[in-house]
Amino acid sequence: MNLVVALQKEANPIIQAYGLDKEQGCPLPFYFKENRRLIISGIGRARVSAATAYLMGRFPEKNQPWLNLGIAGHGSLNTGQMFVAGRIIETGSSQCFYPPQIITSEVPVSELTTCGKPQKKYQPNMGYDMEAHAFYQTACLVSTRELVQVLKVVSDNPKQPISQFKPEQASKWIEAKLPEIDHWITELTEAALSIKPNPEINKLLSRITQRGGFSTTRSLQMGSLLRQADALGEDLGALEGMLTDVGSPKQMLAEIEQILSNKRTLP
């Protein structure tokens, strides 16, 4: 799970709740524990794009869950209320994103406009932030759209405009929403795991092709056969064992094809 947060005050409750450790020497404040990572981007589209790209570069695995979390203005919701962005637009841009909502949750889904500066005018049913659009655009380069989500807690609205906002409130509002935030993190993480290919296939492919003699085509054929073997319930370890004494790539492919041939019919 990659969390991208604009401000330290927004991030503190998350850092504490998950016991994240700060990594020294990073260009941006970066916290982590096991597979949970949090980066503090700073405000605005350029900063959030850079922070997201930084995480993408360091952790290039595809289809990880990504969450942009922070505070936002809103035209209708109360301060302290959380929403998930279901439609993200940006002032001055025609590009519009619709993060598919696969997580069952009580959190309302709202439109969100990413602006270049804080908004003082509010439209009904519209949220306002300064990062989500750029975050979504960037994170979707490496992850499927369902796994990239934007959660915002309302910091200002027509009744309590941004001029009355006190930054220290950000931590309190985020902290109050930790159970819901945790639900999202858990669900997105599980969703990502559910579509993750069996990592053993690529490891085995790598071991087999390292034996040498594999052209690009033969490597692709071997990868395809190993995936099929896995789908057909073949024990990959046992399969590797059977190939120990088989010589050329061509013979290995033929051997696996032979092993699978009797299993390709649905039971």
Partner 1 sequence: MINSIYLENSIREHPKARSILSRFPKANVLPCEHYKEVFNPAGQNFRLQKKNPALILAKQTGKLLHSIPPSYGVGGSRNFYFSHLLNCLYDCRYCFLQGMYPSAHFVHFINSEDFMSVIKQTTEESEEPSWFFSGYDCDSLALESITGFAGEFLPFFSKLPNAWLELRTKSANLQVLENQTPFDNVVIAFSFTPEEIGKQTEWKVPPLDSRIRAMKKAASMGWKVGWRIDPVIDSTDFKKRYEELFDSLLCNLPIQQLHSVSLGAFRMPSGFFKKMEKTYPSEPLFAGKLEKRAGMMAYEKNLEKNRLTTCENLLLQRIPKELLFSCKSPVV
The CB-of-115 to partner 1 minimum distance in angstroms stands at 19
* Of 164 and 198, CB closest to partner 1: 198
How far is CA 13 from each of CA 132, 171, 172, 174, rounded to the nearest angstrom?
A: 20, 6, 8, 7
Task: Please measure the distance between the N-terminal and C-terminal CA atoms of the chain and give it in whole angstroms.
Answer: 38
Helix (H, G, I), strand (E, B) or coil at 146: helix
- The least distance separating partner 1 from the CB of residue 184, rounded to whole angstroms, comes to 14
Instruction: Tell me which residues in 39-98 interact with partner 1 (CB under 8 A).
Output: 63, 86-87, 96, 98
Residue of the chain from 140, 178, 242, 253 that contacts partner 1 (CB under 8 A): 140
Quick one: which of 145, 172, 183, 218 contacts partner 1 (CB under 8 A)? 145
26-34 long-range Cβ contacts below 8 angstroms, 24+ apart: 27/54, 28/54
Scanning the structure block, which residue is given the tokens 């902290």? 175
Residue 191 binds to partner 1 (criterion: CB under 8 A) = yes
Which span sits near partner 1 by CB under 8 A: 35-43, 69-77, 153-161, 188-196?
188-196
* DSSP 3-state of 73: strand
Which residue has 């109050």 as its token pair?
176
> Under the rule (CB under 8 A), what is the footprint of partner 1?
63, 86-87, 96, 98, 100-104, 108-111, 140, 144-147, 191, 194-195, 197-198, 227-233, 260, 264-267
